[in-house]
């Protein structure tokens, strides 16, 4: 099983990058690819640009990572109640490579923020939208108070969050077992 993970943020110190990659590492018996949106710079999406220049190589390369994956783990940073500009831009470009870019993939959708809501507004935007792009959402979680509930040394500290994460990982592993045996 191939697992792709990324934080939907361009911050070099992104808590969402940290969370997405941490959760991906919990999926055993799988090959991981942690990617950084900053490695795929793209012009701001514009239909005129596309008509003149076509789809940039970085959008195609990013899509190739998605094509490689069986499971995609994304953690969303929330900016003013929605996607970060960097994520929305790459999402728009990749949708021009393939509209149903998540077809035949299981997604774990996460969000985190320093505050109590843990980015749940952007998370719900993705949960509503991604099935239109072929996603099967295997689990989702808004992770509140990241700095309090996560430590670099111990991982997830809060027991309730830990058990929600365990059940998401368990469901992915069980489905994997079934698909391998079937």
Pairing of strands 150-151, 155-156: antiparallel
User: What would the two tokens of residue 107 be?
Assistant: 């997604």
CA 89 to chain centre: 14
Window 120-159: contact mask with ligand FMN (x via CB under 6 A): ----------------------------------------
| Paired residues of 140 in beta bridges | 109
Burial class (CB in 10 A: 0-12, 13-18, 19+), 52: exposed
Q: Is 80 in the site for ligand FMN (CB under 6 A)?
A: yes
Q: Which of 3, 4, 15, 66 binds ligand FMN (CB under 6 A)?
A: 15
Q: Is 9 in the site for ligand FMN (CB under 6 A)?
A: yes
Q: Which of 115, 163, 166, 170 binds ligand FMN (CB under 6 A)?
A: 115
Instruction: Give 96 or 124: the residue with its C-beta nearer to ligand FMN.
Output: 124
Q: Which of 32, 34, 60, 79 binds ligand FMN (CB under 6 A)?
A: 79
| Paired residues of 31 in beta bridges | 2
| Paired residues of 150 in beta bridges | 156
d(CA 1, CA 42): 29
Give CA separation, 12 vs 6, 8, 36, 92, 130, in Å: 13, 12, 9, 22, 26
Q: 10 Å Cβ neighbour count for 122?
A: 26
Q: Is 11 in the site for ligand FMN (CB under 6 A)?
A: yes
Q: Select the span of 11-19, 48-56, 60-68, 132-140 touching ligand FMN (CB under 6 A).
A: 11-19
Instruction: Give 112 or 176: the residue with its C-beta nearer to ligand FMN.
Output: 112
Q: Is 176 in the site for ligand FMN (CB under 6 A)?
A: no
Instruction: Give 50 or 158: the residue with its C-beta nearer to ligand FMN.
Output: 158
Binding region for ligand FMN (CB under 6 A): 7, 9, 11, 14-16, 77-81, 113-115, 117, 119
């Amino acid at each position: 099983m191939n697992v792709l993970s990324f934080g939907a943020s361009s911050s070099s110190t992104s808590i969402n990058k940290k969370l997405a990659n941490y959760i991906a590492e919990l999926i055993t018996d799988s090959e991981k690819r942690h990617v950084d949106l900053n490695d795929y710079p793209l012009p701001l999406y514009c239909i005129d640009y596309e008509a003149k220049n076509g789809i940039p190589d970085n959008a195609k390369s990013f899509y190739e990572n998605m094509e490689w994956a069986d499971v995609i783990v994304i953690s969303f940073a929330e900016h003013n109640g929605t996607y970060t500009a960097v994520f929305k831009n790459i999402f728009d470009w990749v949708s021009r490579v393939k509209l149903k870019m998540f077809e035949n993939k299981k997604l774990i959708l996460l969000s985190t923020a320093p505050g109590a809501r843990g980015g749940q507004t952007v998370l719900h935007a993705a949960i509503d939208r991604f099935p239109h792009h072929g996603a099967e959402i295997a689990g989702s979680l808004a992770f509140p108070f990241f700095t309090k509930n996560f430590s670099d040394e111990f991982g997830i500290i809060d027991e309730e969050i830990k058990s929600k994460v365990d059940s998401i990982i368990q469901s992915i592993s069980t489905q994997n077992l079934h698909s391998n045996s079937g």
